[in-house]
Amino acid sequence: MSPELRCRACNAVVSDTFVDLGSSPLSNSYLRETDLDAMEPTYPLHARVCRECFLVQLPAFETPERIFGEHYPYFSSFSDTWLDHCRTYAQEVVGALDLGARSFVVEVASNDGYLLQYFAQRRIPVRGIEPAANVASAARKRGIPTDTVFLGAETAQRFVEEYGPADVVVANNVIAHVPNLHDFVQGLAVLLKRDGVLTVEFPHVLQLMEHVQFDTIYHEHFSYFGLMSAETVLPAHGLRVFDVQELATHGGSLRLWICRRESSRKETERVSTLRTRERSYGLLDMSRYAEFSSRVRLAKRDLLRYVIDTVEAGKRIAGYGAAAKGNTLLNYCGIRADMIEYVMDRNPEKIGRWLPGSRIPVVAPTVGRERRPDVLLILPWNIRNEVIAQLDDLRREGTRFVVAVPRVAVVA
């Protein structure tokens, strides 16, 4: 009998299955050649949903230090779509909050400085907080001051003593990756000036459910929020949502605009409208969550059928994008190098390695395109247009571009 799981947000006992994706290695543990003869640790990838606050979640099996330690290979700057999103965001925030040379912008999980650079270019003082040492050092090299720590109540306190509180605190695509949720949110609250604004982005669980994006579930992604489940976490830290935007990033994300409870900022109509939509979709209804598993199994059989038929017809399949999403998909479906020969990726940290679990080799696009695959499975379906544009020569020579989620579809 496993020990009982407690909800990360409300501490209720969590026992209801959202989806069980079997056992899988950590998504970002790309293998070196010397690892190929060794055992590979795997962990259950079994997402649950809390009956009390409806937070979809995975338990943490590894410490954040091990997951996001020294050599976390993710560099945000490698996706053009993502950089466009960040540039637009910076422009919007600077305008909406009238930021200038006396303001202070802090980003948590600032990665290689991909976002803060757009504030720095406007001479707005910035500072990043980034726990992965190799990534933080890349940020400093491009002139973005960055502290290498994990954010929590205590580290936030020390940060504020040294640099002062921030007018804007940015926490984009990080809150879902934090095992100790309350300590982290308390840290965000500590960083904030009295009338400061915090913006938080995360993939919307409603989109995950509606579009069967089960491949966005991986071990490093602990919490799957909606507006309402996120709102259950904030009051304990004196915070509230005053506005919300729906974004196209990561298959559909939310950007919450958050202030202190006592702030004079008025809650916009968009907040109540989205609450209503979440309620009518069924995010407060356990039966809605219960139906997700069967839709995921259907997607798996659909992909396997396509891959087997394609290989049996004598065609060769390659993948694009050595990202976490692809690893969940391939490992859950049991697809290995005997079906997908290799995966192309632009990130030099991943080239020359093997995907965890499936052990499919990762090659540079220059190498992969020369082998002229018949089918290219785009694993990060959210950047499909970018991939299609980048590999247009392959498309013109007859390679078919395919995505697997929510169902197999030829996209170019």
Q: Which residues bind Zn ion (CB under 5 A)?
A: 7, 9-10, 12, 50, 52-53, 55
Distance CA(264)–CA(285), nearest Å, equals 33
Please give the radius of gyration of the chain, using alpha carbons only, rounded to the nearest integer. Answer: 21
Using DSSP's 3-state secondary structure scheme, residue 60 falls into coil
**Strands 146-147 and 5-6, sheet pairing:** unpaired
| Shortest CB 267 distance to Zn ion, Å | 23
**Strands 362-363 and 56-57, sheet pairing:** unpaired
Distance CA(324)–CA(405), nearest Å, equals 14
Tokens of 167: 């007018």
| Shortest CB 403 distance to Zn ion, Å | 33
Rank residues 53 and 379 by Cβ distance to Zn ion and give the closer one: 53
Using DSSP's 3-state secondary structure scheme, residue 317 falls into strand
| Shortest CB 52 distance to Zn ion, Å | 4
Look up residue 405 and give its DSSP letter. Answer: S
Rank residues 9 and 217 by Cβ distance to Zn ion and give the closer one: 9
Tokens of 266: 């008025």
Q: At what angle do helices 181-191 and 153-163 cross, to 10 degrees?
A: 20
| Shortest CB 225 distance to Zn ion, Å | 11
**Strands 105-108 and 126-129, sheet pairing:** parallel
Residue 312 makes CB contacts below 8 A (sequence gap 6+) with none
Q: C-alpha angle 72/380/336, rounded to 5°?
A: 85
Rank residues 49 and 132 by Cβ distance to Zn ion and give the closer one: 49
Rank residues 16 and 195 by Cβ distance to Zn ion and give the closer one: 16
Contact 178, 184 (CB under 8 A): yes
Distance CA(327)–CA(335), nearest Å, equals 10
Distance CA(380)–CA(250), nearest Å, equals 9
Using DSSP's 3-state secondary structure scheme, residue 370 falls into helix
Rank residues 232 and 245 by Cβ distance to Zn ion and give the closer one: 232
| Shortest CB 227 distance to Zn ion, Å | 15
Rank residues 72 and 225 by Cβ distance to Zn ion and give the closer one: 225
| Shortest CB 224 distance to Zn ion, Å | 12
| Shortest CB 55 distance to Zn ion, Å | 5
Rank residues 5 and 411 by Cβ distance to Zn ion and give the closer one: 5
Rank residues 26 and 55 by Cβ distance to Zn ion and give the closer one: 55
| Shortest CB 233 distance to Zn ion, Å | 9
Rank residues 9 and 67 by Cβ distance to Zn ion and give the closer one: 9
Look up residue 97 and give its DSSP letter. Answer: H
Buried b (16+ CB within 10 A) or exposed e, 391-405: beebeeeebbbbbbb
| Shortest CB 183 distance to Zn ion, Å | 16
